[in-house]
Amino acid sequence: MAQADSSKWSEHLPLVLLSIRSTVKEDLGCTPAQLVYGTTLTLPGQLVPSNDSTEVNISDFTNRLTQQMLQLRPVAPRQSLHKAQVNKSLLTSKFVFVRVDAIRKGLQHPYEGPFLVLKRTDKYFTLNKHGKPETVSIGRLKPAYTDSEYETLPTPAPINNQKVNATPTLPLFTLPPVQTRSGRQICKPARYVHFID
């Protein structure tokens, strides 16, 4: 039942339950009250004689409907009480990682980067991504923690292409060949020789 004042719904509950108990169920062919009590219930509408001669004045009805519609007020949208959580160090970090939103293959990194931050705003950052400025939403960013000593290291000077004869001063240590229990020597495949035992 649709009521204008929904705060007193419990007062209307007995009438709703009465209507449910007195409704004929199609699959049973009777009402739930007939199954429980063995007879039909007397409804409030059967106690009061009906007067079918009452006619509704259309102009009066439209006036009342117009007044009711004028009293309706729109409901203001609910303001969001919580803000998106942003890492505090994201606002000060020089480098950030960018989350990959595409479907990833197995063993693919979830983040790209780190990329240098060029410009910050409340909703997005402008990054130097592969030499070009790119605007990325703040929700896809994660701060990159780098050591400041690595950021300020001087670039190494180019090395001249002179060959230096480096002879080891100590003899190289070689492992003795590995043998099986029967005395046969094990030869490793050539493609695995560069791995350390």
Contact 97, 142 (CB under 8 A): yes
CATH topology of domain 88-145: SH3 type barrels. (2.30.30)
Q: Which stretches of the chain drop beneath a pLDDT of 70?
A: 1-5, 50-54, 80-84, 148-175, 192-197
Contact 41, 47 (CB under 8 A): no
Query: Tell me, what's the pLDDT at 68?
Result: 92
Q: At a CB cut-off of 8 Å and minimum separation 6, what does 22 contact?
A: 31, 33, 40, 41, 43
pLDDT in tens, 17-70: 888 888 888 888 888 888 888 888 887 777 777 666 567 788 998 999 999 999
Contact 135, 124 (CB under 8 A): yes
Query: Tell me, what's the pLDDT at 128?
Result: 92
Model-level pTM?
A: 0.37
Query: Tell me, what's the pLDDT at 149?
Result: 46
Nearest to 145 by CA among 87, 81, 106, 100: 87
Domain layout of the chain by residue ranges: 16-44, 88-145
